[in-house]
Amino acid sequence: MDASTKKNLQKIACNVRMGVIEGTYNAKSGHPGGSLSISDTLTYLYFNKMNVDPANPDDTGRDRLVLSKGHTAPALYSVLAQKGYFSADELKSLRHIGAMLQGHPCIHIPGVDMSSGSLGQGISAACGMALAGKLDGSSYKVYTILGDGEIEEGQVWEAAMFAAHYKLTNLVAIVDNNGLQIDGAITEVCSPEPITDKFAAFGWHVITMDAHDFDDIDRAFTEAESVTDKPVAIIQKSVKGKGVSFMENQVSWHGTAPNREQYDQAMAELNAQLKELEG
Amino acid sequence: MADVIKKATRESYGEALRDLADEYKNLVVLDADLAAATKTGIFKKACPERFFDCGIAEANMMGVAAGLAACGKIPFASTFAMFAAGRAYEIVRNSIGYPHLNVKIGATHAGISVGEDGATHQCNEDIALMRTIPGMTIINPCDDVEAKAAVKAALDFNGPVYMRFGRLAVPVINDSETYKFELGKGVVLREGTDVTIVATGLMVNEAVEAAKTLEADGISAQVVNIHTIKPLDKELIAQCAEKTGLIVTAEEHSVIGGLGSAVAETVTEMYPVPVVKIGVNDEYGHSGPAVDLLKEFGLSAENIVKTVKESMNLKK
């Protein structure tokens, strides 16, 4: 990836993160931690990988993304707003009565390919979309992002079995391995480890990646495209709360919104990061 | 009676899918390792490239169906009612119902007439569960002719549909030449003035037989077949309440949350008269031949006759 592309993605990701803070602050609820850990990956997908057009969100040939870890909707909404599906002002009414942006992704929101949020279900829908693509001989790709806590759901492994059996080579599942879930560290709650071995045993091609390094993200998704016989699982090593110092690696920021003071500090930090990138 | 043709509606389901495959190119069929029992194997044989076995994994099957529908396919997700409505309830609710996707659920082996397999597989709660999902259409056909017409109607309708089929061979009471299926419309099979028997599924034939007996005993019973339990034909139910002043419902399902409940809710709101429910009385079934179980649990013409007679004094 060339330096200017990388810098551009870093800037967009910074703006995406500010949208996450804006949304959860105004909602007075929501899930900033896991939203911030997937912000770089979503930015890369929507601005450097996926074949999507905000002017034609229902194009049947488009790539699709199912946010299986639907509670991190603020990141998805923020990247969709950056991409131009709707105004970034919508983030200010996230979760409000009468607002377009629901607490979890809803298929009726422009750019959202599937309603999700009840954990374990999005990957199944992504399998169905990938299967439909195969049936139609269409070349679109389907991406789905899961939490590392989410994969404790049994349905995920039903889907993993299905995807490998039907050779859904147009499917890429990304596991956001930030190591934390609501009740604590994933290894202490009810460990889903070893994650890479599990997906490999289920017949997937497994790639690990640094979720906050665009060069490595690019390497991982490029490798994913070269796989022709299996579905691909990308296990991304990420930092929950990435980009906001006091949120990083803190399980308490899984589902807590910033107050005014915390909002100001988070925005100041992200603005400083953006300024540095622009400087 | 010797020439009465009997056929299980699950068989009709499999045959209808096969017969409609050519006309509906977007039709795909999913099953969860029960293709021989749900009869989707009939479709699989004719159209293997559009049949996908999901293995014993009903939750994923419902999600896969949702994804297929989101990409323009019309998936028929097929398994036993217990697993379709029971095990996979929350996936049906959140991945199919909430996004209002065009998924058809083919739920076979509904009710107590599963027979020998016993209580774990006798689903008497599916209609109640599915009724609570906003936007879900529920069809419970009474015979082969109606079941086939229901599958076609579900295909022509855009939105989630739960279809309920049985394991037991039941009499074919409709004429395939003249039968017309109208989604959401009840069918008056017999006019009467003293009581209305509102039945669904295999209890429709029992209701017709009961009405004949009641007539001989001097009671004029109107018989209504409700194949579409949701949306319910409320106007017709209210008209029956007004006309006959007493309603007896009959279904192979729990008396909690099914047809009887739906009818009672409507009658209470639109034209209050007594509603007496025949169904499985808040209990589990057990193993035994289907025909014997139906009798034991009161799902018979004899019990309809008895219940109607006992209920006549409830009329105001």
Q: What is the pLDDT of residues B186-202, one digit of tens each?
A: 999 999 999 999 999 99
Return mean pLDDT, chain B.
Answer: 97
B289 touches chain A (CB under 8 A): no
Confidence of residue A279 (pLDDT cuts 50, 70, 90): confident
Confidence of residue B61 (pLDDT cuts 50, 70, 90): very high
Mean pLDDT along residues A71-94: 98
* In chain A, residues 26-85 whose CB comes closer than 8 Å to chain B: 60, 64, 66
pLDDT in tens, A213-240: 999 999 999 999 999 999 999 999 999 9
Closest residue, chain B, to A133 (C-alpha): B71
**Peptide bond preceding A194 in cis form (omega within 30 of 0):** yes
Confidence of residue A33 (pLDDT cuts 50, 70, 90): very high
B73 touches chain A (CB under 8 A): yes
The reply to whether residue A126 touches residue B50, judged by beta carbons under 8 angstroms, is no
B188 touches chain A (CB under 8 A): no
The reply to whether residue A159 touches residue B60, judged by beta carbons under 8 angstroms, is yes
- Burial of B205 per CB tally in 10 Å (0-12, 13-18, 19+): buried
**Residues of chain B found within 8 Å of residue A133, distances taken between Cβ atoms:** 71
Which residue in the list B11, B23, B49, B58 is annotated as catalytic? B58
Per-residue pLDDT at B235: 98
Is B310 catalytic? The answer is no
Closest residue, chain A, to B87 (C-alpha): A155
Confidence of residue B2 (pLDDT cuts 50, 70, 90): low
ipTM greater than 0.95, yes or no? yes
Per-residue pLDDT at B316: 86
Per-residue pLDDT at A193: 98
Per-residue pLDDT at B3: 75
Q: What is the pTM of this model?
A: 0.97
A113 touches chain B (CB under 8 A): yes
Is it the case that residue B181 has pLDDT exceeding 80? yes
Mean pLDDT along residues B233-237: 98
Is it the case that residue B1 has pLDDT exceeding 60? no
Closest residue, chain A, to B75 (C-alpha): A128
Mean pLDDT along residues B271-286: 98
